[in-house]
Amino acid sequence: MMKNYYPGIGHVENMIELAKTSDGSFTSGKEGVEAIYTPLDKKVEFVSFADKTMCYVKSAMGYPAWYKVPEAHYEGPATAILMDLDGTSVRSESFWMWIIEQTIAKLMKNPKFELEAADEQHVSGHSVSEHLQYCIDKYCPDKTVEEARQIYFATTEYEMKEILEGRGKQGAFTPAPGLKEFLYEVKGHGIRIGLVTSGLYTKAMPEIISAFKTLDMGDPMEFYDAVITAGTTFKKGQTGTIGELAPKPHPWLYSETARVGLGITEDEKSRVVGFEDSSAGVMAIRLAGFKAVGINGGNIHASGMESLCMNQFDLLGDALPLLLGK
């Protein structure tokens, strides 16, 4: 029987209890294990002991990892915030899921192919390769992720060019409601802002540049105190960076933004929060040692990750009292 409170996690709700971890490393009730549980999307598994909770991050690409879930605390007012891009700062998730859908349609040579509603939590918030591998496993197991990646990046390159030339998909990159006012208010109080995305550089930068242009906010690279993306993809004739196997829900993008980009030390962590709309992002923030604020509209609820959020809001501006200590 599960308790409702565990170290590192806090109160647990809407989790599925497991008898053992999927990799066989731990069994509930043995070797000090008090409970094993997973959220509804089953992307991670938690193993709780009396004094700690471990998190097993699964990988469709075959590279899972174990992390200790650190205790996280927040005491306002904030000195810095960490912000996700897709879905939190810019409403673009539907566009990128459409790109995934187009990729699989071309891979299967089926122009009528459509993703199912149940696929949403598996094709948003993670890396491109994770999204594609999920679709291949479900819809076309005779294909490879390498084939899919070639189609994906060719499709992305074409669609981004169309958007930049005014012919592309309408409403692909829409600034989140109240984004401009929120960012100016936060900045005006001397709070540093780090932008964090699992998206590759060529995917992420046109998004935020487009949003800032729409809002007449100037150069985002001058506005943000740090911007971290998943880097560049490997392809023939181009050097890639470590971005496809280590993004959200792994902690490293948020950790690098905080420690390297914003200079946040352990002593300052309690004055920092992260904003996310995806389950993968919430997990990444928590594994990096920060409290997470959920923005409604993504897949946090469908994935069963609400209990890992300190608060949840419909709009960014609703979180200002929390940040300003009012």
**pLDDT single digits (tens) 44-88:** 999 999 999 999 999 988 999 999 999 999 999 999 999 999 999
Which residue, chain included where needed, has tokens 């053992």? 20
Please say if the pLDDT value at position 232 is more than 80. Answer: yes
Closest CA to 279 of 127, 173, 164, 125: 125
What residues contact 210, with CB distance under 8 A and at least 6 apart?
Answer: 90, 163, 173
Which residue, chain included where needed, has tokens 């409702």? 4
| For residues 183-189, average pLDDT | 98
CB 33 within 8 A of CB 59: no
Q: What pLDDT band is residue 200 in, cutting at 50, 70 and 90?
A: confident
**What pLDDT was estimated at residue 1?**
64
Rounded to the nearest integer, the mean pLDDT of the chain is: 93
Q: What pLDDT band is residue 165 in, cutting at 50, 70 and 90?
A: confident
Fold category of 80-92+174-324 in CATH: Rossmann fold (3.40.50)
Looking at residue 257, what DSSP letter applies?
A: I
H/E stretch holding 156 reads helix 145-164
CB 87 within 8 A of CB 277: yes
| For residues 119-144, average pLDDT | 91
| For residues 135-157, average pLDDT | 94
